[in-house]
Each structure stands twice: as structure tokens, then as C-alpha cells.
Amino acid sequence: MIRVRIPQKKKELEVPGPRRVGEILAAAGIRPTTVIVTQGKRLLTRDQRVEDGETIDVLSVVSGG
Amino acid sequence: MKCKRCRKAEAAVDLPSHNSAFCPDCFFLFFRRQVSEGIRKLSLLSPEDRILVCVSGGKDSLVLWDVLMELGYPTEGLYIDLGIEGYSDRSREKVLAYAGARGKEPIVVDLRAEGIPIPEAAKRARKEECSVCGTVKRYFFNRIAARRGFTVVATGHNLDDEAARLLGNLLHWDRDHLSRQHPLLPEVAEGLVRKVKPLWRVSEMETAAYGFLKGIDYVTEECPLSFDATSLIYKEALSMIEEKMPGTRRRFYQGFLDKNRGVLQNSDDKNRDVLENSVPGLCATCGAPTFAEVCGFCRLKEMVSQGRDRKRSAQ
């Protein structure tokens, strides 16, 4: 399983791997233009493949006010 | 996916709105070029300017400060501690750490020390937090800039912020706000300094990507008082459209600036004529320039003070 952390929402979910970042976001119902997806110090593009057992972070970029 | 500029390195940022994708080094070039083009196109800044950059600890303002320094502009940071328990302390920490690592010491205004922390001020004055926050920030932007000899105040508003604001103004046909919506607000009078938004061409996602790749440690949590801000609804609507039709947000805002801003202004708009032809006087309480007898900040302070009196007499 791929571990998907969404720290600003204090949420974590698991999706079966391997999958592309774009597919993971779609499965989690997240619009790609509203987030950046990171893995350690790397920034991932939507077409990048995430393997089973890996962890990614989804960070919202939307600021209000 | 390979970088579409150098065609060698692996892409780290894909930008469907520009039909492009960049590796980190090429993305830095792209981002700086977007910002410097935005500055040049609208003559936002000149090399002689002394720039006061308003930093909140969030990604946009810290990235703005970073990119302006990289472009060689003389800048100082202003941090306003809003007095929001926890959130303000964490934001302040980020600003001080960022500035310290670059040999800078930001100017800090502490609203608790000023007797007007936002959550309490809004409660006592019986006003919306975001409205109180706007009044207080505008006051200190002008006051600090005027007193310390800055020629311009720069804020981190980005393309998403401006497009969302434009959508809101259009949905309400707010001609007054539409006529004043621009990345450059000229100096109205001494003490009401020029305001600029140099990030108007870059999206929130691009700003976040730049901050992340540059290793800028910004506060990722949102202001707890802005969770129901209407701008979030407009942003959500625009994101949905952007996803289906990449580049729409940019064309929407750029088109407004290029072609349609003048059309939306009403030549017989009385409010605008009054504003444009008026010369501000000085606030009877604090001496700041204002179009009323007492400035908005002093009126707010008075409302807060009355609210505190009401609370005391009720106890």
C-alpha cells in the first residue's frame, strides 16, 4: 500500500500501489492545482509513479483571507 | 517526464496552464522571470525604491521577500503579530528564522502590545475578524512605511488571490472595488504609500513549489480565523474550471488588466470621482492621513475600548 499523508488536515490514507500521483489525487478527491505532492525533499509531478510501500505528502497550497 | 526547457533533467513541477514542465533549476528561472515580467509590465518597482515587504510567515510573503532579494531589490520585512494564540507565535518564529538566516531583522508590530489583538478586537468591536485585520494591517503598512522612509509596500498576493477577488467583485458587480483592483495602487498622498503585488502572475501552486524547492520553511497551517473566508469559495470554483481548462485563471485576470478594467469603470461613478478628486486630511486622533475626520484604525480602537467598558460594567 502507498501511505498518503495530508498533514494540514491531520489525515492519512492508504491506497494500493503502484500508482501515478495524478491517480492517487483523483482517488483521494483532491484537485491537483490546489496541492503540491512531495516525497522527502523531492517534488513529484502528476505522472510520477509511486511504488507500494512508499510514503508521499500532499500539501495544500490554498490560502484564505 | 523530462524538463521541457533543458530537456535533460527530470521535471519536478508540471504546469498545464503553461503547457510546460520544469526541473528545479529551470523552474527557478521561469518563476523569477514571471515575477520580473510582472514588475516590468506594470512598472511596479524601480531600482531606487526602498521596499517594505509584508511577511506573515506563510509561503507567498516569504517567497516574495526571497525572490525580490534575488532580483536585487533593497528590501526590509514587516511582520505584524496578530495576537492569535498559537498561530501567531508559530508564524513569528518562521519569519524570524527566515530573516535571521539571511542576516535580516524584520520590523515587528505586536498587536497584543498595541492593545488590539485581532480576536479580542473583533469581539469587542462586534466586527468580522478579517475586516478588523484588514483595517489594522493597512494602518501599520502605511505608518511604518511613512515613518521609516520606505517608498513602497509589497504584499504576497498571487494570481489565485487576485482572480478569486475579481470573480467575487464581478459576481456582486462591485464597480467601486473593480475600479481599484490592480497590482499597483499608487501613492494617494504623503503617508498613504504605493502598494504593489509583484506575484500577480504566479499561481499559488507555483509559489508553494518555489518555496518548497528553495527550502523556505513557511507556516503551512492556515489562519484559524479565515476558515470560512468567501475567497475560498471563489478559489474552489476557479480551481474546478482550471482543472478542466488549464490557463483559464491566468487569462481571466490578465484579460481584466489588459482590456476590460476600463470598460467596467463607470464614468459617472460618483464614489470614484469623489475619491479621485479628494485630498485626504489628517486623523483628528492620531494624525494619519484619512478621508474621514477620524481614521478607520482610531475608530476601531474606540469601538474596542467601548466594548471593553461594556464588558466591565456587565461584570
B204-235: pLDDT as tens digits:
999 999 999 999 999 988 888 877 778 999 99
Residue A18 in 3-state DSSP? coil
Residue B165 makes CB contacts below 8 A (sequence gap 6+) with: B177, B181, B231, B234
Answer yes or no: are the C-beta atoms of B57 and B218 closer than 8 Å.
Answer: yes
Please indicate whether, in this complex, the C-beta atoms of B59 and A63 are within 8 angstroms of each other: yes
Partners of A43 on chain B (C-beta within 8 Å) are 12-13, 24, 209, 212-213
Residues of A in contact with B240 (CB under 8 A): 31
CB under 8 Å, gap of 24 or more: what pairs does B3-8 form?
B5/B29, B5/B30
A14 to chain B, closest Cα gap in Å: 22
Residue B266 has pLDDT above 60, yes or no: no
Report the pLDDT averaged over residues B151-166: 97
pTM of the shown model? 0.93
* Closest B-chain CA to A40: B212
Least Cα separation, residue A27 to chain B (angstroms) = 15
Residue B252 pLDDT level (bands cut at 50, 70, 90): very high
Query: Is residue B229 less than 8 Å (CB to CB) from chain A?
Result: yes
> Mean per-residue pLDDT for A26-52?
95
Contact B181, B162 (CB under 8 A): yes
Strands B289-290 and B281-282, sheet pairing: antiparallel
Phi-psi region of B78 (alpha: psi -120 to 50; beta: other; left: phi over 0): beta
Q: Give which of B269, B272, B291 is closest to B282, Cα–Cα.
A: B291
* Contact between residue B119 and residue B129 where contact means Cβ atoms under 8 Å apart: yes
Whose cell is 464588558? That residue is B311
Give the mean pLDDT of B132-137: 95
Residues 6+ apart with CB under 8 A from B208: A36, A59, A61, B59
pLDDT of residue A42: 95
**Residue B96: Cβ-neighbour burial (10 angstroms; 0-12, 13-18, 19+):** middle
Closest CA–CA distance from residue A15 to any residue of chain B (Å): 22
- Residue B86's pLDDT is what? 93
The model's confidence at residue B270, banded by pLDDT at 50, 70 and 90, is low
Cβ–Cβ of A38/B212 closer than 8 Å?
yes
Residue B79 phi/psi, 5-degree rounding, is: -115, 125
CB contact under 8 A, B14 and A61: no
Integer Cα distance of A45 and A47 in angstroms: 6
Chain A contacts to B (CB-CB under 8 A): 7-8, 31-36, 38, 42-48, 59-65
What is the Cα–Cα distance from B204 to B154, expressed in whole angstroms?
17
Quote the longest CA-to-CA distance of chain B.
72
pLDDT for res B189: 85
Q: Are B141 and B54 in contact (CB under 8 A)?
A: yes
pLDDT at B273 over 80: no
* Chain B residues 135-194 with a CB less than 8 Å from chain A: 160-161
Check residue B69 and give its pLDDT.
Answer: 97
Contact between A61 and B226 using a beta-carbon 8 Å cutoff: no
Q: If you average pLDDT over every residue of chain B, what do you get?
A: 92
Considering only CB atoms, B204 lies closest to which of A8, A48, A63, namely: A63
How many A/B residue pairs have CB atoms within 8 Å? Answer: 76
